Structure formats: structure tokens, C-alpha cells
Chain A
Amino acid sequence: MTDSRVTGSARYAQDAEQPGMLHARIVRSPFPHARVGSIDPTAVPAGCVVLLPDDIRGLGRYGVQVRDQTVLALDRARYAGDPVAAVAAATPRESEEAAALVLVDYEELPAVVDVLDAVRPDAPLVHAAHEVSSSQAAYFGLRPENGTNICHRFRIRHGDVEAGFAAADVIVEETFTTAGAQHAAMEPHACIARWQDGTLEVHTGSQTPFNLREELAGIFALEPDQVRVVCPPMGGSFGAKTFLRTEAIAAALSRKAGRPVKLVLPRDEEWQTLNRHPAVLAVKLGASADGTLLAKQVTCYADTGAYADCGPGVAQKMGFAAPGPYQIPNVSVDACCVYTNTPPNGAFRGYGQMQSAWASERAMDLLADRLGLDPLELRLKNVLREGDRYCTGETMHDIHFAECLEAAAAAIGWRHGRTGKGLSVVLKGMQTPSRAAVEIEAEPDGTYVLRCATTEMGQGAIRAISLLAAELLGVESERVRFPSPDTTLVPYDTRTTSSRSTYMMSRALEAAVRDLGASGGRRGHGEIVDEGGLDPDTGQGVASSHWHQGAAAAEVRVDEDTGKIEVVRLHAAIYAGRVVNRPGAELQNEGSMIMGLGTALFEQVVLADGQVANANLSDYAIPSAADLPQRLTHQLLERQGAEPHGLGETALPPVPPAIGNAVASLDLHVTDLPLTPEVVLGAVDRALGVRT
């Protein structure tokens, strides 16, 4: 049987239909910050249903880490794109036309759209106070700073950085920035909601069925089992379809309409729904003359936009990845999650860690340059090894940073000349603490059904987990079925993020198969819990129960007249432990690298007066086949007897710094992503200034 994806028979969340359903359209604020006055829907044709702020005033607030959001903006719109009303009509076209007829009075307020402006003492406040969420996704201690735009500050305090810098022979200091980016999954956000006998049923493309159930139950004052969330396969997500996005608006409209409501976002509204955190990272790094790292201080500002979403978690991961995979005796990190009047920023493939890797790995090359050392040797001298302790105090196990680095370097002929070449190495944490469970049901016909909350977004989870189950059960994989997750049928799982599913579910499956044998062979339940977490004030504890490790190497040519970078060669070496599904693992590496290439060279959300100015796939370019490097290769480093290591993201964060370091090897000092021709020409001008 040919794969449904090539025959056109694959179905996604966007394809779901229900009898009598209406189609929704959101009315959004055009202003980055405004008081919302009266809303006049009288021009909307009869037969349409309009959801207004007064309809949702009695509903609960939501937000997985900070409870800062309402189903529609109440009184104040906090970004250009903030939903202020919504319309449901018989067809998508009618709802689009009706939405344009909703008249809203706005009074513009002072807005703050830049993350460094937002942390100034006189900055307009996006939220007056920060209410910490009690949701299951608020898994660490939040440290909001009320009266400021900082909704979380994470710190690492390890050793004595002042003493470390005092002892250093060389200190480099630099500030790096990374731009906002759009996930641009080919399938937009899509959901369908309906109410039956007081219970809410939502079919939606989501990586987080249980977090979504909890949020919806909180908003509509329901018990969790009165909310059913079903997650069909997604046409891509990359973090965009995490937590609550458009589902509450569809649900509220459906309740008002008394009919199912489907909501598929038009492409431009993707940029108004969720993007990647732009960030500013100030790095100070000190070493002795022989290249031994002595101290590192990093301050990160992660711009979370108008609503926190999982931004505090992103800032925390940015913070604990900022030291890099190195043994450093004195470390101080402050990572702040900052509100601005811009569209919300949230989970994005490799979250927080791409930004840190850019700053950390560029800083390593600056240091190597100052010390007159080979950047590879500087890294190998300091890189974490098996049994070392990270600056969080945790002991590192199954560690292969040096191996990844050596492999990446060898692939581009590093030892035969370094001009135009760059390297990077990254560590990437996995969601910790973390819980996974799976049930196996034996059917009378000899097949097995997996009840598993892991969702499929193209990452190949269904295939990998089915293969693992088949292997443990000793049957052909065709005899294992993996239906789309349905919260009424599957056991609780933290979520399908941070490259955790294959690793966590492989262990839950082992327990489930044991239980299946012990309980008569009809039904087996397996559950595992990884404890851990960090103290937010010291950064001490267990950041990750399992570390993703990878290195990248790039070779570039730069046209100094046009500023265009040509990536001739790009290689990634990623530690895989045990590979479960080889084609799937290769695709995840290749896809991560290509997404990293877009981040490195051209992807950026552009704002003008607080509005996204490039909210379409023409002005916001994503990599096409024609953008590939001349040679793009990668390798999966395996180890006999190892557990599977998640691979969904690891090859993304090392790509931008590898390319940046390759450009820097041509005496072009670059600090800002993406490396557009303008950025490169700026570096060329500075270099010429130095040369003349």
C-alpha cells in the first residue's frame, strides 16, 4: 500500500468537518496598544454569529505559565493582531466579509515594541501585574518582577565570576541579537469545536493535548473530563501548535452559535498568533592564556510579545544553555522574559537554545581569535566530558560533545585550512521534569492498539513509537496501530515537545509490555517519570534528564560587493544514541539544518509601527530547494546499547553559529541574526575601516 501522503489521502486537522458547522474569522486590533471601546456589529448580516468581549467577560483567564490572557482582549488590545471579536458564518468567505463589517472604536495607547526599550524603568507596562499560572506547564518557580515588563527572571549562580574574570588573561565581551521568526508550518492553525450536553469537544492540530484540555477546562469552568481534545496529524508545527492558540475562540463561538465552529487561520494571521522570541544576549567570557575558560557572564532578554505563553520556559532554557557545553568554574546568568506590544512569541524548534548557541558559540570564536588559538582546539580543551558537572551542579552522562565536534570538523576538512570555515557545538536540554505513559491493548485479531498522547506533526513519532512497540512485542510493525490521540482514551503525557517523545515513550513502552505480560496479555500500562528541575534563583538542580548534543560545520563564500553569503558546505554531527527509524532520523536532522539555514541567512519577522510588515510567504522567505548549500550532509553518532536520543531539534541551533563563525573567519565580525546582505555589508564596511 502506498503511503497516504503520496496518494493525497492523508488528512489533517484542517480537513476535519462536522455537520452543520460554521466557519470562524477573528477581528483583530490594528494597533499595538489600544483601549478597546465600543464594538458595533450591526452591519454583520443576519445568520452570522458574533462573539464580543461581553460574551467572554465571565470566562476564566488562561496562560500556561503566566495567567495573562483572556479569550478576547478585554478593554485593552496589547498587540497589533490581538483578537477583539470573532464572527462565525456559513462559509469561510462569508465570515471573512462579515468580520470586516464589525466596527471597533480604539483609543491608541503608548506602545513598547523593542525588548531593550521594554526593560527601561519608564517603559509603558504591557501588563499591570503578573499572575503566576498553576497549570501543569508552569513546572518551575516563576520569578515575575511586578511593576516591570519582566515576567520571569532565571538565574545561574555558580562559583565567583568576579574572581574568575580577575584571574583571566583575556576577556571578550560582545552583545548578540537574534530576530523573531515564524514557524510557517505549511498547514495553518486549524481546529473545530462543538458542545454536546455541556461537554466541549475540540479537534485540533496540537502538540499539547493535555495542556490544552486543562486550559479549556479552566476557561469554561469545566472538569477536565468534560473536555475532549482529539489531535489529528498536523501539516507541520515546529512549536507553533503548542498550548492554547485559537481553540478557545472557536469553542466560545460554538457555544454561542449552538453549532460546531471551525477555525482555520488565514496565512497572514499566523504571524499574529505565534512567532519565535527575538533575543538580545550580552556575553562576557574570560580565559587564561592557554585557553582554559575561567568565567562566563551572560544576560539574556527574550522578547515574549504581549502574552507570556511558554516564554518564561524559553528564557529559562536560553539561560541554562547560555554557558554552552563547557566546563567553566565561574558562571553567572540572568535570563529575562520580557513583555512587549508585539505578537506573542512561544515555542519554536530548539527553543531558547538557538539564541544561546548563536551568542555562546560566536563568543568562543572571538575568544579563540584573541588568544590566537584554533577554535576547534579551544573547544576541545574546555568541552564537557563524561562524568563532568555542568554549572547547574548536575553530572553529565552519555556525553559526546568532543566526538560530535571532531566529526563535524573532519567533514569540512578543518585541519587542511580554516579560511571561510566555522564550527559550533551545542547542548540542548529536554523537558524536565517530564512524565510519559502509554497503554497497549491486545485485540482479538492479533493486532495491538497503542493509546498514546504523542501527536504527529511530520516528525515521525507514530512510525518510531510503533516500531519500538513492535520490537518489544515481537511482532511485525503492521500489527501495531497508533490512532490519533484523544484525551478521553489515552493516558496523560506531558506533551510532544523538546524532542522527548521517542526517548520517553521508548521507556514507557518497555513498562507497558512488561505489564501486558504480567496482567494476562490483554492490556498493559506503562508510565515513567523523570524528576528534576532547576532552582530559578541559583540555576542549581537538574536542567535535563537527558542531553541532546550536536555540532555543525560550515564553509562559506562571501561576495563582499553584494553581501551575499553562499554556504558551500554544511555538515551536522548529532549524537543519536540508538537510531529507531533511520529515514525518519535523517529527515529530522536534514529538516533541522535547513530550518537553521533560514534562521542564519534570511528569516526575520519585520515590524513597522508595531505591526508585522512581512506577514506572507513572499516577503517572509523560508528555505526552498534552491536555497540548499551545494553540499548538505550529516551524521548520526550511535553507541551500542544506548537509549534513543531525541533528534527533532538538535541540528538546528548549531547551524547559525557555524555559518556565522565561517563568515567571521573572513574577518567579517557579525553579531546579529539573520546574516542578511545588509548585515554582511555592515561587517565589510567595519573590516575596511580596520584595514585602511
Chain B
Amino acid sequence: MKINFTVNGRPAVVETRPDQMLVDVLNGLGCASVRETCGIGVCGTCTVLLDGEPVSGCLLLAPLAHGRAVTTVEGLGGEDPVQIAFAEAHAFQCGYCTPGMVLASKRLLEENAHPGEEEIRLALAGNLCRCGSYVKIVEAVQRAAERKEDPWTS
């Protein structure tokens, strides 16, 4: 079946099986940062934003993205305050979970401009980092919150 949607602001038309998962379709479109790893929607590695809401690409049937807007970390352009804050805070080791972590953090900051440490820990509990970079990830989110406030950097 055919689905029409936008990926990182660009329209895309894709022929897909009805039981295809979104992660596979995005990989086919060159969004390599979205990787299936747990396969059951618990690790957050394949997090993408669907109309701005975080979803697990390994659980969402691709046809459900029809008519909607998908954002992956490739679509943030590299200068997003959250991306910059993650780099400045050294909030990653292997970096495999980072795309999902960045997107989940971005959504958190839209909901809550100044989350406390505990709120950040809970909001990111669905994004697993086996390297255990959480201390610096929390710092990165706080740094991104400050960065978004600062008119000179946002």
C-alpha cells in the first residue's frame, strides 16, 4: 500500500506492506539514525516525533504515519539547542541511544521549559542508555533549557 507523509519537512510517498513498521520505512528513506534494537518499544532507541509526539518506530505500523509529519534527529539540523547542549555536556558515550534521547528531551522541554532533575529522570525513563550516561544527559537537558531561554543562542 501507498503512504503519503512528511519526513523532516519533506514530502515522501512510500510503497509499503500494511504490516511494515515505521522504523523500516524510515531506514529505507535514509534516516539511518532510527535503529530498531529492542523491537518491543521499551528502549527508546528508535524514538521519532510523530506530529511532535515521541513514538517508538519499532512499534508504529508505517501506514499509521499516513498524512502525518515525522521528525528524526537528522531533521534537527545539528544546531538545535538540545543537540548543542548534548554535545557540550558530553551526554553520550557510544551515542547509539542519543538520537532518541535528543528527541525525547526536545519534547520534554516543549512541555516543561524548566524541568527539575527528578522530572527529567522520569521523562527520559523510556529511553535506555546502557553506557549509563544519565548524569550528563540530565545536565544536557538543563543546559538546553537555559540555552533556549537565552535570546543570543536560541
Q: Which residue in B35, B128, B137 is a CB contact (below 8 Å) of A187?
A: B35
Q: Is B63 close to A, CB under 8 A? A: no
Give the residue name and chain of the B residue nearest to A616 (CB): B40
Asked if residues A6 and B78 are in contact (CB atoms below 8 Å), the reply is: yes
Query: Which B4-60 residues have a C-beta within 8 angstroms of A?
Result: 31-33, 35, 37-40, 42-43, 45
Annotate A615-646 by CB proximity to B: 1 below 8 A, 0 otherwise.
Answer: 01110001111101000100000000000000
State which of A10-18, A37-45, A46-54, A442-450 sits at the interface with chain B: A10-18
Tell me if A236 is interfacial: C-beta within 8 Å of chain B.
Answer: yes
A7 within 8 A of B: yes
Whether a CB of chain B sits under 8 angstroms from the CB of A479 is no
Q: What's the nearest-Cβ distance from chain A to residue B136, in Å?
A: 7
Asked if B73 contacts A622 (CB within 8 A), the reply is: no
Q: Cβ of B126 and Cβ of A8 under 8 Å apart?
A: no
* 8 Å CB interface, B113-154 against A: 120-122, 124-138
Name the residue among A3, A6, A234, A622 with the largest chain B CB count within 10 angstroms.
A6
A617 B40 Cβ-Cβ under 8 A: yes
User: Among A74-82, A155-163, A492-500, A586-594, which stretch is in contact with chain B?
Assistant: A586-594
Decide: A2 and B133 in contact? CB cutoff 8 A: no
Partner of A186, one of B39, B129, B135: B129
- Within the complex, the shortest CB–CB distance from B87 to chain A, in Å, comes to 5
The 8 A CB mask of B51-77 against A (1 = contact, 0 = none) is 000000000000000000000111010
Check A590–B128 contact: CB distance below 8 A.
no
Q: Are B86 and A618 in contact (CB under 8 A)?
A: no
Residues of B close to A186: CB separation below 8 A: 37, 43, 45, 94, 96-97, 128-130
Residues of B contacting A6 with CB < 8 Å?
Answer: 73, 78, 83-84, 86-87, 92, 95, 98-99, 102
A622–B40 Cα distance when bound, in Å, is: 15
Cβ B99 vs Cβ A8 within 8 A: yes
| Residue contact A188 to B134, C-beta cutoff 8 Å | no
Q: Which residues between 184 and 215 of chain A lie within 8 Å of chain B, taking CB atoms?
A: 184-188
Shortest A569–chain B CB gap in Å is 14
Q: Contact at A632–B135, with CB atoms within 8 Å? A: yes
Give, as a whole number of angstroms, the nearest-CB distance from A461 to chain B. 11
Query: CA–CA, A626 to B86, complex, Å?
Result: 19
Known contacts being A7-B78, A8-B74, A590-B135, is A617 close to B43, with CB within 8 Å? yes
Please give the distance in Å from B132's CB to the nearest CB on chain A: 3
Contact A622–B130 (Cβ < 8 Å): yes
Contact check, B93 vs A3: say whether CB atoms are below 8 A apart. Answer: no
| In contact, B132 and A590 (Cβ under 8 angstroms) | yes
Q: Are A625 and B78 in contact (CB under 8 A)?
A: no
Minimum distance in angstroms from B124 CB to a CB of chain A: 5
Q: How far is B84's CA from A536's CA once the two chains are assembled, in angstroms? A: 52
Is A234 touching B132 in the complex (CB atoms < 8 A)? Answer: no
* Closest beta carbon of chain B to A364's beta carbon, Å: 27
Task: Return the chain B residue nearest A634 by Cβ.
Answer: B135
Which of A586, A591, A618, A625 sits near B124, CB closer than 8 Å?
Answer: A625
Q: Which of A554-594 contact B (CB under 8 A)?
A: 583-584, 586-588, 590-594
Whether B131 lies near A2 (C-beta < 8 A) is: no
A118 at the B interface (CB under 8 A):
no
Are the C-beta atoms of A623 and B132 separated by less than 8 Å?
yes
**Distance in Å: Cβ of A628 to nearest Cβ of chain B:** 6
CA of A304 to CA of B50 in the docked complex: distance in angstroms? 45
Are the C-beta atoms of B78 and A5 separated by less than 8 Å?
Answer: no
Q: Which residues of A contact B90 (CB under 8 A)?
A: 583-584, 586-587
Residue picked from A11, A266, A587, A622, most chain B C-beta under 10 Å: A587
Say if the beta carbon of B79 comes within 8 Å of chain A: yes
CB of B98 within 8 A of CB of A587, answer no
**Contact in complex: A625, B120 (CB < 8 Å):** yes
Please state if A618 and B37 are interface contacts (CB–CB under 8 Å).
Answer: no
Residues of A within 8 A of B102 (CB): 6
Min C-beta distance of A9 to chain B, whole Å: 8
Q: How far is the CA of A160 from the CA of B38 in the complex (A)?
A: 52
Q: Separation in Å of the A38 CB from the closest CB of chain B?
A: 32
Question: What chain B residues lie within 8 Å of A590 (beta carbons)?
Answer: 132-136
B contact residues around A266 at 8 Å (CB):
39
A592 near B132 (CB under 8 angstroms)?
Answer: yes
Residue of B nearest to A594 (CB): B132
For the complex, give the distance between the alpha carbons of A365 and B137 in Å. Answer: 35
A224 neighbours in B (Cβ, 8 Å): none
Choice from B78, B99, B125, B130 contacting A626 with Cβ under 8 Å: B125
Residue contact A267 to B37, C-beta cutoff 8 Å: yes
Cβ 8 A contact of B133, one of A9, A185, A591:
A591
Assess the B93–A624 pair: CB atoms within 8 A: no
Q: In the complex the two chains form, is B32's CB within 8 Å of A15's CB?
A: yes
A4 at the interface (CB under 8 A from B): yes
- Chain B residues with CB under 8 Å of A624's CB are 124-128, 134
Q: B94 contacts which chain A residues (CB < 8 A)? A: 5, 12, 185-187, 233-236, 457-458
Residues 1-35 of chain A, each 1 if its beta carbon lies under 8 Å from chain B, else 0: 01111111111101100000000000000000000
B9 to chain A, nearest CB (A): 15
A5 partner, pick from B43, B95, B137, beta carbons under 8 A: B95
A220, CB-defined interface residue at 8 Å:
no
Residue contact A625 to B134, C-beta cutoff 8 Å: yes
Complex CA gap A266/B90 in Å reads 29
A595 contacts the other chain (CB 8 A): yes
Q: What residues of chain B lie closer than 8 Å to A187, measured between beta carbons?
A: 35, 37, 94, 96
> In the complex, what distance in Å separates the CA atom of A618 from the CA atom of B39?
10
Residues of A near B138 (CB, < 8 A) are: 625
14 further A-B pairs in the complex, CB-CB below 8 A; given A185-B96, A591-B93 = A2-B87, A5-B92, A6-B99, A7-B73, A10-B33, A185-B94, A235-B95, A235-B96, A457-B94, A590-B132, A590-B133, A591-B133, A625-B127, A628-B121
- 21 interchain pairs, CB-CB under 8 A: A3-B92, A3-B95, A5-B92, A6-B87, A6-B98, A10-B96, A10-B98, A235-B96, A236-B93, A266-B39, A458-B95, A593-B132, A595-B130, A616-B42, A617-B40, A617-B128, A622-B130, A624-B127, A625-B138, A626-B121, A628-B135
Which are the 10 A-B pairs with shortest beta-carbon distances?
A: A458-B94, A5-B95, A8-B33, A235-B96, A594-B132, A591-B132, A458-B93, A626-B125, A583-B90, A8-B73
